[in-house]
Amino acid sequence: SGVKVVICGGGNGAHVAAGLAALNGADVRMMSTFSDEAERISAALAANNGLLRVTYTDAGTTKELDAKLSVVTKDPAVAGKDVDLILLVVPAFAHAGYLRALLPNITPGTVICGMPGSPGFPFEVDGILGPELSAQVTLMDWATLPWACRLLEFGRHVEVLGTKESMRGSVRLGTVPSRVDPVPCLQSLLGQRPVLNASGHILGITLGSVNQIVHLAVMYGQWYNWDGKGLPESPLFYQGINEETGSLLNSMSAEICALAKKISDTQGVDLKSVLHIYDWYMDCYGKDISDKSTLATSMRTNASYRGLRHPTVVGEDGLHRPNYGYRYMTEDVPFGLVITKGIAEIFQLPTPNIDRVLAWSQKQMGKEFVRESAGGRVCGSDIGMTRAPQRYGLTTVEQVLGVPKQ
Ligand code: NAD
């Protein structure tokens, strides 16, 4: 009965996705391969008559919903039996583990969905499935998680604080028809909102990712000429940016737009979803921004960014120093900017501003993704921990555009 869905993950988003999909009639198998998470969720559910509570606040109204999942398991054979739709709701670094675990259950016609997919999602799927199977499955890549949400009690109670109005994504249809119509199916599992808005080539979601440029440009702008002295407080992240950082971010975004244009013009694919960062801000935050004169003023006066500070570590002297181990670096470099650089390399488009920020970032992280002695190509000794196309041996235009060609 119902669409057979595997929800991969055991965090905030996975609990919400599992609860809502079950409430909307799906046969939900929640799968977590992480530590003893599946056992802990099962035990928590068992102590609660098998019900997962979702507190759902939307438009000022709060509802308490109780969902019944089919199974919570660590075992891919149990979760993946005859699966129609695999929904990955974990940080990008955890995708590969789930894809490898579920590989024996992925068949022609399976739908694989990243929510969020995060940059490099299609390369990772193609790399792990191989060209033949990869062409036969359908991919959905979404730019974000649909909700602001948090666990109140692990395995038992999750709260949705807000739901996005709409969510941008892309679908790559397989050569074998999927058993469910991907977008309407996902929409029915999530409910009325967010309104799913899928368009264009699947690479648009990778190239259009904003975190990879925003977080890194702001980190670079704040710290590239730092004198090494601790600060009494952590600087404001967005409200603290100056025109120079705004201008750098502008240029990085322009390089990505130029790349998208080159790919669309030469390959005839639709990458209209790749927006310039200024236009993206106006689209997403227009009503929250009080001074739109430049990119920097728009970011500084974005009400929803108020008070956010730089990730720092506090030393024994009580002073703040930058934390380069935070996800703004550990995610947005290997699961972000390195991938975009890898695509630019294959399309032979120079990206001097992205290169500058990447060179600095990898140095702070103590990693080598791009190799300076090889002209800054994506062939450093640490590319194995990225989702750059080069990591999967995808080095031609055809391979990067994916199978089947859209
Ligand atoms: P989360 O932090 O709750 O996810 C943690 C889960 O990831 C763990 O429960 C586990 O299942 C898995 N995991 C963690 N470490 C792992 C490891 N080493 N190996 C395997 N699995 C591991 O994440 P979330 O809040 O559900 O968010 C999911 C994604 O959506 C993230 O990329 C997040 O940045 C993004 N996001 C979250 C929110 C939100 O409100 N929670 C909002 C917007 C975007």
Span from the CA of 265 to the centroid of ligand 1 (angstroms) = 36
Span from the CA of 92 to the centroid of ligand 1 (angstroms) = 8
Residue range 4-199 in CATH 3.20.20.100: no
Span from the CA of 229 to the centroid of ligand 1 (angstroms) = 33
The residue ranges of every structural domain in the chain are 4-199, 207-401
Question: Active-site residue 15, yes or no?
Answer: no
CA distance 329 to 385: 13
Span from the CA of 112 to the centroid of ligand 1 (angstroms) = 18
CA distance 200 to 274: 9
Could you identify the atom of ligand 1 that is nearest to the CA of residue 16? 26
CA distance 274 to 210: 10
Could you identify the atom of ligand 1 that is nearest to the CA of residue 118? 32
| Residue pLDDT tens, the chain, 406 long | 699 999 999 999 999 999 999 999 999 999 999 999 999 999 999 999 999 999 998 888 999 999 999 999 999 999 999 999 999 999 999 999 999 999 999 999 999 999 999 999 999 999 999 999 999 999 999 999 999 999 999 999 999 999 999 999 999 999 999 999 999 999 999 999 999 999 999 999 999 999 999 999 999 999 999 999 999 999 999 999 999 999 999 999 999 999 999 999 999 999 999 999 999 999 999 999 999 999 999 999 999 999 999 999 999 999 999 999 999 999 999 999 999 999 999 999 999 999 999 999 999 999 999 999 999 999 999 999 999 999 999 999 999 998 644 4
Task: Ligand 1 pocket test: pick from 12, 33, 205, 212 the residue with the most ligand atoms within 8 Å of its Cβ.
Answer: 12
Span from the CA of 298 to the centroid of ligand 1 (angstroms) = 29
- Count of Cβ atoms closer than 10 Å to residue 244 Cβ: 10
- For residue 200, CA distances in Å to 36, 85, 157, 232 come to 39, 21, 37, 47
Q: Which among 160, 122, 5 is positioned nearest to 69, based on CA atoms?
A: 5
Task: Ligand 1 pocket test: pick from 73, 141, 145, 214 the residue with the most ligand atoms within 8 Å of its Cβ.
Answer: 145
Measuring from atom 40 of ligand 1, which residue has the nearest CA? 148
**Element containing residue 11 per DSSP (H, E):** none
Measuring from atom 23 of ligand 1, which residue has the nearest CA? 11
**Which residues are within 8 A (CB) of 180 and not within 5 positions of it... i.e. 6 or more apart?**
3, 84, 85, 111
CATH pick for 207-401 out of 3.40.50.1220, 3.40.50.2000, 1.10.1040.10, 1.10.540.10: 1.10.1040.10
Q: Which residues form ligand 1's pocket by a CB distance below 6 Å?
A: 9-14, 32, 34, 37, 89-91, 94, 97, 116, 144-145, 148-149
pLDDT given at position 1: 60
CA distance 119 to 130: 19
CA distance 333 to 239: 23
Measuring from atom 28 of ligand 1, which residue has the nearest CA? 90
Residue 155: exposed, middle, or buried by beta-carbon count in 10 A (0-12, 13-18, 19+)? Answer: buried
Say which of 95, 157, 215, 320 is annotated catalytic.
Answer: 215
Could you identify the atom of ligand 1 that is nearest to the CA of residue 91? 32
pLDDT given at position 406: 42
Span from the CA of 89 to the centroid of ligand 1 (angstroms) = 7
Could you identify the atom of ligand 1 that is nearest to the CA of residue 151? 3
Measuring from atom 10 of ligand 1, which residue has the nearest CA? 10
Could you identify the atom of ligand 1 that is nearest to the CA of residue 149? 40
- Count of Cβ atoms closer than 10 Å to residue 5 Cβ: 29
ipTM for the predicted complex comes to 0.98
Rounded to the nearest 5°, which phi and psi values hold at 334?
-70, -30
Q: What six digits make up the tokens of 188? A: 């029915």
